[in-house]
Amino acid sequence: MQNTNYIFSGFGYSCGKYKITNTDISDAIDKGFLRGFSNNKIKNNKAYLEFINENPEVSPFEYFAGQVMGFFERHHVTPFPPTTKKLYYAESSLELCVKAITNALKDSELQAKEIDAWFVSTVSPHEQAPGIAATVKSFFVPFSDQRPAFTLSSGCAGFNMNLETAIAYFNSHPEAKNIVIAHTETMSSFLTQRIKFVPFVTFGDASAAVVLSRVVDDKKYGIINVLNLHDLRMLEYVGVDNKRNLYMDDSLIKDRATINIIDSATKCLKVCGWTVDEIDYLVPHQTGNVILFPAAETLGVSKSKLFLEGQNKFGNVSGATVPLSLLLLSEQGKLTDGLKILSATAGVGGNFGAFSYIHKNIKNKSGKFDIHRGELAGKNALILGASGHLGTAVATEMQKRGANLWLHANKNSSSLYSFKTANILQCDFTDKYSIEKFIKTIIESEIRFDYLINLSGTALPCKCMQVNFFAVAEIINKLLPQINETILNLGTASEDSELTDADEWISSNRAFHGFLASASGEIFKNGVKTVYIQSGFCESGISKNFNEKYIFKFMLYVGQVFRLKTEQMSYNVVNSLYLPKVLGLDYSYENAMLVGRMGYKLEVDI
């Protein structure tokens, strides 16, 4: 008999970049920023007095947060404490989710084009509409991809609910083979007005994703059973109000969540016919020891089978806690064939549920998987300014993805000879006859370019306007009939500054920016997308034309923290050619032109 199995074929996660320790929170309490904790009450506690006999360095607060509550670390997207302005510049739940899914795809050794549906849940979206799943998908596949993306507004039970829905999707779409399920949360964004210490100890910012794959086999494994239930009594115990402020009643949550975890786990075990002794791990939604320890004890699950490392290291990250914990088990080599897992969830809105799972490794992973391999096979690209540091990096990235290259250089065309299969074109943008010859050669070739990428530029005052504006504008105007998909130009963040140390350079970039924005409507009528990337200073390239004092002043002005890496810039440029959105770019539209700011954001007045 053949069984249709649904297995986790890949795991991925990301978290806020700032690790927040219990000491950080304790310091905030001592300084009066947070309230509600009594040192004296813990100091006189018998359990604490016994604990410090062997751990004298542990403070009453660190004992309570770690040993009693069960949280030692958590990660936030901002330095502690979170504020509205800090959150504006920080990564959002969207960006965390894109990173988590990227890692899950790499782990499963699948490309985005092999994903048949996208299921994403959150209660802290980066915007109200469109749903976050649609926007997440836009970072992975081109405009032509029509496979569905589903957004679920759910917190703690979001992953469990989407798991059941994804299996239902599989059952109604026999052609589907792989589905992405992700949950993402920036819980710290709900804490800007809170002063009670409990939520700061409890919640963290993270995203976790899995690839759920259909496998037909004569053996049964993967998801055995999944159920979702609802408890109306818990509806208003915890939530987020219409001003994005968290509210919660600790004691009421504890009582109902414990009951619901026990209830859903018991019902799930009954349906799949397992006994408690058969479980290798109970992987719950990690709400804290005061809920999980009593629940495990009632179920008869020993603490050795209760997996709480996600809680200990990342805090309660809402619906991301279960897939994050599964990933940690995988990283530790504990997900072995035949391992039996029971997961139970209870949380916001009264949603609760559980699933049972038998693990199966279906392939040996090479660790050398390229998520973008072959994505540009058969595509033709003309790169202006290909001989610079960024130009050669972009050409290398495009060649890896299978593109056919036509590379322009001025005097240093020899630097491009390493691109064996590329066509090398020479042109001096300060010489009108050289430009005319360059254009004539391309027109007569009748080559259709999918992409025209302009990375050329100079900071020499006497040449700026000609090289950075007039020459490129003429080339685009003349070659537009031979361009199929995208025109991309690399500008500079200096266009957003009021600095006067490089007037000609900034003015020439602004002039070309205005030209391309004005022309983008007509260009779009020809079916061609226009992208303009304003980049902060890079570690190489045109930076050599400016002294360190100017670069420092510029970066301070626009809020750029680190110089951009050439490799990351080239990756972003290539992705921008054919993906609707690219991580690391802050977007806006000017006419029909998509403007992406890379390495910085415009200053906000909050």
Q: For the segment 506-550, what is each residue's pLDDT rounded down to a tens digit?
A: 999 999 999 999 999 999 999 999 999 999 888 776 666 777 887
Q: Indicate whether 248 pLDDT > 90.
A: no
- One domain, residues 198 and 99: yes
Asked if residue 605 is part of any domain, the answer here is no
Residue 362 banded pLDDT, cuts 50, 70, 90: confident
Tell me how many domains the chain contains. 2
The amino acid occupying position 62 is E
Asked if residue 485 is part of any domain, the answer here is yes
Question: In Å, how far are 8, 436, 479, 532 from 487, measured between CA atoms?
Answer: 39, 20, 11, 8
Angle at the Cα of 167 from the Cα atoms of 161 and 172, rounded to 5 degrees: 125
Tracing tokens 């919640």 back to the chain, one arrives at: 203
Distance CA 269, CA 261 (A): 12
Q: Of the residues 295, 328, 358, which one is the last residue of a structural domain?
A: 358
Domain that holds residue 412: 380-598
Distance CA 569, CA 562 (A): 13
| Predicted pLDDT of residue 479 | 97
Distance CA 315, CA 313 (A): 6
| Predicted pLDDT of residue 503 | 86
| Predicted pLDDT of residue 416 | 92
Name the phi and psi angles at 257, rounded to 5: -65, -40
**Cα–chain-centroid distance for residue 105?**
12
The CATH number linked to 493 is 3.40.50.720
Q: Which two tokens stand for residue 290?
A: 């005061």
| Predicted pLDDT of residue 448 | 97
Asked if residue 435 is part of any domain, the answer here is yes
- One domain, residues 415 and 504: yes
Distance CA 317, CA 184 (A): 8
| Predicted pLDDT of residue 454 | 98
Among residues of the chain, what percentage have pLDDT more than 70? Answer: 99
Distance CA 473, CA 452 (A): 12
Of 198, 151, 103, 135, the residue nearest 319 (C-alpha): 151
- One domain, residues 394 and 313: no
Give strand pairing partners of 35. Answer: 196
Give residues with Cβ within 8 angstroms of 527, minimum separation 6. 484, 485
Asked if residue 373 is part of any domain, the answer here is no
Tracing tokens 């002794």 back to the chain, one arrives at: 277
Q: Indicate whether 126 pLDDT > 90.
A: yes
Q: Which two tokens stand for residue 463?
A: 């040449």
Does residue 123 contact residue 153 with C-beta atoms inside 8 Å?
yes
Distance CA 196, CA 199 (A): 7
Q: Which two tokens stand for residue 569?
A: 């810039």
Higher per-residue pLDDT: 251 or 180:
180
DSSP state of 486: E
Q: Of the residues 299, 323, 358, which one is the last residue of a structural domain?
A: 358
pLDDT in tens, 460-476: 889 999 999 999 999 99
pLDDT in tens, 128-144: 999 999 999 999 999 99
Mean residue pLDDT across the chain: 94
- One domain, residues 202 and 300: yes
Left, alpha or beta for 222 (phi > 0: left; psi -120 to 50: alpha)?
Answer: left
Does residue 585 contact residue 577 with C-beta atoms inside 8 Å?
no
Does residue 448 contact residue 413 with C-beta atoms inside 8 Å?
no
3-state secondary structure of 185: strand
Burial per residue of 253-271, b for 16 or more beta-carbon CB atoms within 10 angstroms, e otherwise: bbebbbbbbbbbbebbbee
The CATH number linked to 260 is 3.40.47.10
DSSP state of 443: H
- One domain, residues 74 and 22: yes
pLDDT in tens, 540-588: 766 667 778 878 888 888 788 888 899 999 999 999 999 999 999 999 9
Q: What is the mean pLDDT of residues 590-599?
A: 96
Burial class (CB in 10 A: 0-12, 13-18, 19+), 32: exposed
| Predicted pLDDT of residue 543 | 65
Does residue 466 contact residue 507 with C-beta atoms inside 8 Å?
no
- One domain, residues 254 and 183: yes
Distance CA 126, CA 224 (A): 34
Does residue 170 contact residue 119 with C-beta atoms inside 8 Å?
no
Q: What is the mean pLDDT of residues 97-115?
A: 97
Three-class DSSP labels, 112-129: HHHCCEEEEEECCCCCCC
- One domain, residues 496 and 349: no
- One domain, residues 398 and 346: no
Burial class (CB in 10 A: 0-12, 13-18, 19+), 428: middle
Q: Which two tokens stand for residue 416?
A: 């491009």
Tracing tokens 């059941």 back to the chain, one arrives at: 164
| Predicted pLDDT of residue 161 | 98
CB atoms within 10 A of CB 580: 19
- One domain, residues 466 and 389: yes
Ordered alpha helix ranges (H), 404-490: 432-445, 464-465, 471-479
Distance CA 106, CA 582 (A): 17
Distance CA 493, CA 515 (A): 17
| pTM across the whole model | 0.95
Give strand pairing partners of 383. Answer: 407, 453
- One domain, residues 505 and 544: yes
Q: What is the mean pLDDT of residues 47-54?
A: 92
Does residue 436 contact residue 480 with C-beta atoms inside 8 Å?
no
- One domain, residues 312 and 177: yes
- One domain, residues 107 and 218: yes
Of 490, 489, 486, 488, the residue nearest 527 (C-alpha): 486
DSSP state of 469: I
Does residue 563 contact residue 538 with C-beta atoms inside 8 Å?
yes
Does residue 494 contact residue 509 with C-beta atoms inside 8 Å?
yes
| Predicted pLDDT of residue 415 | 83
Does residue 95 contact residue 201 with C-beta atoms inside 8 Å?
no
Distance CA 526, CA 529 (A): 9
